[in-house]
Structure 1
Amino acid sequence: MNSLTGTRALARLAFRLDRVRLTVWVLGLAVMPMGTAANYLSLYPTEADLRAVSAVLSNPSLVALSGPLFGLSIGGLTAWKIGVTEFILVGLMSLLTVVRHTRTEEETGRLELIGATVVGRYAPLTAALLVTGLVNLAIAALIALGLLATGLPAAGSLAFGLATGLVGMLFAAIAAASAQLTQSARAASAIAGAVLGGTYLLRAVGDTGPTWLSWLSPTGWALHLRPYAGERWWVAGLFVGVGAVFAVVAYALVARRDVGAGLLRERLGSAESSPALRSPLALAWRLHRGLLLGWTIGLALTGAVMGGAAAGIGDLQSPNQQLTDILTRMGGNNGLTDAFLAAIFGITGMVAAAYTVQAILRLRQEESSGRVEALLATPVGRLRWAASHLTFALLGTALLLAAAGIAGGLGYGMQVHDIGGQIGRLLGAALVQLPATWVLAGFGTALIGLAPRFSALAWAALILSVLLVELGALFGLSQWIVDATPFAHVPKLPGSAFTVTPMLWLTAIALALGAVGLAGLHRRDVPVA
């Protein structure tokens, strides 16, 4: 038996387990560029239309959001509009897939059981990377074929598909390395996710300031491959080289550690528990505090960067009316700056909802790991245990949004010399997203209570919300379809009039879903495999 024995069987198992999840990812990521290109062909039929919109998209605020427009063509405009979104989503898909089939398998003990059979030391990691690599290859090929089908040039279509696939493969390698560092799948995902978020911020700062910062970001590399704008094929070598380094590091670390252990050993606790751990809420704080701190810092930095970039949006001169309409539809009616800020905080709300879903699914993780049985053997009841985690999902999200709003107010206020006035405005723009995130919390709780095996669908609900809100108008979807997501009903602040009615409805829906989920949890068996 060699160290790769069993790789093919493990890869087949991974494909079988993730066949639905990966199919959704592949189709969603492949269709978005093709749909965007087709829509732009009807929006900008002449070269004059393209010239008008290109003058607008050079604005620093829009460059910070989506990167520079390298090519004055439908293909170049498509790469500008959808590129950063594609790169972030494919990176997220890749890191979650690799962590799920490496560190999660170890954490649950399944890998140790598999390792007792004829399976080599490197087989699980190789299978995870192989599966993720093939999925990214399929995404790249389908993107290229879809863009070709819309009539765009072959070289640019191939370059855009290649850029997307290479970003995914690089973050698969990064996740493979991070999975060796800790004993927790959540920590491994958090490390790789922090790198992914950091690449976006580096790219945003570099594209509007010191250009060299953009070259420190894989997201920046993907844009600088320049699909439809004189492709720079040599940039692909950066992905290959850096990805190979992370992959080599991952394999080296696998050989040096025990199964189930991480390179960074967890700190041993005290022999006796602290009085601060005498309640379920205190235990939940211990479990959630690292995740909450990391998310708070990340969203505060994002708010500060985007708030500072927003000041430049007011410099737009004679903007293209269709682009103005899109921004207004995304973010309100009272000026492009307010529309831009409202759009930014709308995106921030959906990003914060990712923390909400993570925090809610901690309930299911504690159950599936068997730890909750020991807790429920004490006088602690099910509802009290669940309420301790719900507290951090609901109030923790409020903290994240408040941090983003305050930081955004500071960043924007410093640019317009009105810190005191802008902090309050943008804090409100951030917190108004809260009821929509609570709806996802309620949905996740309902799944855990009624259908725990399908609790991961909470992620599907979030991804669908992002796609409908961000691309629904671009694809010309009916408003009733877009209205299926809670984020479509959030008041567009700053800039629009605040209406409390949708906030009350969203909160009521969240409470109803949560109540249904808690009732199901109270009645069903614990644990459910």
Structure 2
Amino acid sequence: MSALTGTRHLVRLNLRRDRVLLPIWVLILAVLPVSYAASFFELFPTAAERAAYTEGTARNPSIVALLGPVYGDSVGALTAQRSGFLLVIVALASLLTVIRHTRTEEEAGRRELLGGSVLGRHAGLTAALLVTYAADLVLGLLTAAGLHATGLPTAGSSAYGLVAALTGMVFATLGGLAAQLTETAGGARGIGIAGLGAAFALRLVGDTAGNDWPSWLSPLGWAARVRPYEGERWWVPLLPLVATVLLAAVAYPVSVRRDLGAGVLPPRLGPATAGGALSGPFGLAWRLHRGQILWWSVGFGLLGLILGGAAEAAGRSVEGNAQLEQIMARIGGASGLADAYLGATLSLAGLAAAGYGIQAALRMRAEESAGRAEPVLATGTRRSTWLLSHVAFALLGPVVVLAVTGLATGLTYGFSVGDVPRQVGRMLGAGLAQAPAAWVLAGLAVLLHGLLPRFASAAWAVLAVCVLLGQLGAVLELDQWLLDLSPFTHTPQVLRDAWSATPLFLLTALAAALAAAGLLTFRRRDIPVL
């Protein structure tokens, strides 16, 4: 029997399991760069307007820190920069996909069952990588074709599509390596995301410090240095190819040297007896969720510092362009251009916070699928108490990370305009105003867990639809009833002089109703439902 025996069957199984989620993230990440290109064509039709935008905003240090460098003022160059952060999302999606099909399967015990059949040692890792590589390549092809269809040059469109695909492949392979190092899926995700964070930090330092050598150490930095639409460097894509091969060359031997279900790194043993904090379900839930809250808060805080620093320059850059002022006002809903920018970015933070709420709510499903919920519920713990212990963090987490984002944004923006106390209060309120919409999606995840546990992950698809509506709705002038499908359409823009709190109460009531329905349905079904 070959080490790759059964790979074809596992590929089919992985594709079947990801038949909904995989196409969604591929299509979203392929459509967004095309929408950015169409927006730049519409908003900056002349070279003079593009040059002013480039000098005023695209070269602002905070924008460069978040998105990467810009190498020209053509529509293509601006689109490539604007899509820079999307490469981080491509990398994250690829990394998590591989971990889900490798370490998560081992932790749940399904890999051991498959291993009892005719299955080679490398089949699991190879199948996960092949599926993710294929998704990345499809993403690259769709992106290149879409950008070319907007009227951008073929060479630059192909270069951007290529770097998007290769960036995903590098981090997919990193996910495959991380899955071999630890015995838990959470640990593998932590290692992989730490690697992604280090790559982003190297790129950020290299692009903003005046000496770009750290960027050459980062796969995210390589992507920008291909320079799509501005004299493409076709030799740079060799770097992510080499990195992918090297990571795979480490991951495969490591996978052979460990036992099934174990990791290379030894598990950290806890104390022999549990502390008083673990005597109840809420203490256990805090132990499970505290790491996520901490790292999400750190990440959102850094993001808020960057966004707040860029707000003043973003407001100045569009002065005199009436069309852009109108679009920005529609997206951000604020009277001033800087407020419109801040409203738009905090709305995006709300979408990301909804992702945390969904993740925290789906932790219940992970505990149930892994068989850890049943022993807890076999004690005197009531079902409703156990579920509410996780729901509490699904609701509290978005509040915490949005508060951190608002405080950090207000701090840096306040320093730039010389009004720290007022701006901190305004941005804190604007950030927290996004929480009820995030609660709605968390409540939906709770309902799906209680009613249709096998389809609980469909909450991510709903979030993807909200992202699409938020990013493309105003630009494409979609019908209002379509925009109203997203709860984030109804969040008031508190940076305006006059706003109503009624939508906040209605969204909170809807979230509470969804969570209550999830509780009722969960109490009436069997456990576990795999």
For normalisation by structure 1, the TM-score amounts to 0.92
- Where do 1:290-329 residues align within 5 Å? 290-316=291-317, 318-329=319-330
In structure 2, the partner of 1:282 is: 283
Taking a change above 3 Å as real, the CA distance of residues 219 and 343 of structure 1, as seen in their structure-2 partners, is farther
In structure 1, the partner of 2:132 is: 132
Taking a change above 3 Å as real, the CA distance of residues 155 and 111 of structure 1, as seen in their structure-2 partners, is same
* 2:423 counterpart of 1:422: yes
Taking a change above 3 Å as real, the CA distance of residues 25 and 319 of structure 1, as seen in their structure-2 partners, is same
In structure 2, the partner of 1:499 is: 500
Taking a change above 3 Å as real, the CA distance of residues 413 and 249 of structure 1, as seen in their structure-2 partners, is farther
| Contact 1:342 1:492 survives alignment (8 Å) | yes
Distance 1:317 1:381 in 2: 57
Bigger drift between 193-202 and 366-375 goes to 193-202
- Where do 1:55-204 residues align within 5 Å? 55-60=55-60, 61-81=62-82, 83-197=83-197, 199-200=199-200, 203-204=203-204
* 2:32 counterpart of 1:32: yes
Q: Per-residue deviation at 1:55? A: 4.5
Q: Per-residue deviation at 1:159? A: 0.6
Distance 1:492 1:124 in 2: 48
| Contact 1:331 1:493 survives alignment (8 Å) | no
Q: Per-residue deviation at 1:190? A: 3.4
In structure 1, the partner of 2:476 is: 475
Residue by residue, what CA displacement relative to the aligned partner does 1:138-170 show, whole Å, maximum 9, x if unpaired?
A: 221222223333333211111111011011111
Taking a change above 3 Å as real, the CA distance of residues 411 and 253 of structure 1, as seen in their structure-2 partners, is farther
* 2:518 counterpart of 1:517: yes
* Number of residue-to-residue matches in the alignment: 528
Distance 2:218 2:19 in 1: 31
Distance 1:27 1:349 in 2: 22
Q: Per-residue deviation at 1:38? A: 4.5
Bigger drift between 471-480 and 135-144 goes to 471-480
In structure 1, the partner of 2:17 is: 17
In structure 2, the partner of 1:245 is: 246
Distance 2:290 2:476 in 1: 40
Match of 1:80, SS? helix
| Contact 2:54 2:73 survives alignment (8 Å) | yes
Taking a change above 3 Å as real, the CA distance of residues 381 and 346 of structure 1, as seen in their structure-2 partners, is same
Q: Which amino acid aligns with 2:425?
A: G
Bigger drift between 237-246 and 126-135 goes to 237-246
| Contact 2:57 2:314 survives alignment (8 Å) | no
Q: Which amino acid aligns with 2:524?
A: R
Bigger drift between 226-235 and 500-509 goes to 226-235
| Contact 1:331 1:338 survives alignment (8 Å) | yes
Bigger drift between 285-294 and 4-13 goes to 4-13
Structure 1 residue ranges (4+ consecutive) displaced by more than 6 angstroms after TM superposition: none
Match of 1:441, SS? helix
| Contact 2:331 2:344 survives alignment (8 Å) | yes
| Contact 1:406 1:423 survives alignment (8 Å) | yes
Match of 2:354, SS? helix
| Contact 1:350 1:437 survives alignment (8 Å) | yes
For normalisation by structure 2, the TM-score amounts to 0.92
Bigger drift between 64-73 and 267-276 goes to 64-73
| Contact 1:56 1:320 survives alignment (8 Å) | no
Taking a change above 3 Å as real, the CA distance of residues 41 and 309 of structure 1, as seen in their structure-2 partners, is closer
| Contact 2:311 2:338 survives alignment (8 Å) | yes
Q: Which amino acid aligns with 1:391?
A: A
Q: Per-residue deviation at 1:220? A: 3.2
Distance 1:358 1:308 in 2: 29
Gaps of 5+ in 1: none
| Contact 1:225 1:236 survives alignment (8 Å) | yes
Bigger drift between 155-164 and 18-27 goes to 18-27
- Where do 1:330-345 residues align within 5 Å? 330-345=331-346
- Where do 1:371-450 residues align within 5 Å? 371-450=372-451
Taking a change above 3 Å as real, the CA distance of residues 90 and 435 of structure 1, as seen in their structure-2 partners, is same
Gaps of 5+ in 2: none
Distance 1:216 1:402 in 2: 33
In structure 2, the partner of 1:263 is: 264
Taking a change above 3 Å as real, the CA distance of residues 5 and 387 of structure 1, as seen in their structure-2 partners, is same
Q: Per-residue deviation at 1:473? A: 1.6
Bigger drift between 132-141 and 67-76 goes to 67-76
| Contact 1:353 1:462 survives alignment (8 Å) | yes
Distance 1:480 1:496 in 2: 26
| Contact 2:334 2:495 survives alignment (8 Å) | no
Bigger drift between 165-174 and 336-345 goes to 336-345
Query: Aligned Cα RMSD in Å?
Result: 2.4
Residue by residue, what CA displacement relative to the aligned partner does 1:335-363 show, whole Å, maximum 9, x if unpaired?
A: 22222222222222222222111110011
